[in-house]
Amino acid sequence: MTTRLGIDIGGSGIKGAPVDVASGALLVERIRIPTPQPSTPDAVAGVVAEIARGFDWTGPIGAAFPAVVRSGVVHTANNVDQSWIGTDAAALFSAAAGTKVIVLNDADAAGVAAVLVPRDRAAGLTPVVRKVAAGAADTVPLVAVVNLARTLRELKERGVWLVGTDDSAEKTLYEADLKGPVALVMGSEGEGMRRLTRECCDQLVSIPMAGAVESLNVSVAAGVALFEAVRQRSAKK
């Protein structure tokens, strides 16, 4: 059995546990530590190292980070401290934990073609980020658009089905058909989607919540939606 230490970094908490790579099953109960505030690179790296020590872990680690990450470098910082932008998270975590840490965001892992962000509401396209983003290793283009609603309408005209996530939607994510050309539209935490963005969507879906928590943060919700699309496209016909 091949195992890895999986660490999920969120805006409010950082969780980790050894997992069976083949099945994705947790092998022991997770360690959860509140995300430091402010969530600076050194502070978060310290928590990653603490979780690794908690399991006496010396093997490879996989860390999911709530931002757009390319080749281990952070390009946006909506749910963590702005000082993360341009930081090589993979190198930082590896040094702190004393072992190799692979850092992926959900978009890269799920094979996303591109990530669109509104230019006036997201950090990430600074000169520093442009410099570290250069090169063939970059796999997920980050595109900042002036008018998100207009861009979504242009995607629709080109045959892309727009699926927006909304807590109040009657249809669930698991009832939606995500096998064709699809753009997943995620709202901001707390506020959700803007009215014009919502109106551009061909379909609104909700993510069923079984426990006391009413909603997921954006990074987790995006991961759930992306890998539901992966599951549907990978299913045997």
Q: pLDDT digits over 89-111, tens only? A: 999 999 999 999 988 766 666 66
| More reliable by pLDDT, 111 or 133 | 111
Residues 75-98 have a mean pLDDT of: 88
The DSSP secondary-structure symbol of 171 reads S
| More reliable by pLDDT, 231 or 87 | 87
- The structure's pTM equals 0.54
Structure tokens at 225: 């939606």
Determine the pLDDT at residue 220.
79
Alpha helices, DSSP H, located in the chain: 41-54, 89-97, 106-109, 127-133, 148-157, 195-200, 218-234
| Sheet (strand 3-9) strand order | 31-34, 13-20, 3-9, 61-64, 101-104
The SS3 call for residue 116 is strand
pLDDT at 81 over 80: yes
What confidence tens digit (pLDDT) does each residue in 37-70 have?
999 999 999 999 999 999 999 998 988 887 777 7
Could you tell me the pLDDT band of residue 135, with boundaries at 50, 70 and 90? very low
pLDDT at 25 over 50: yes
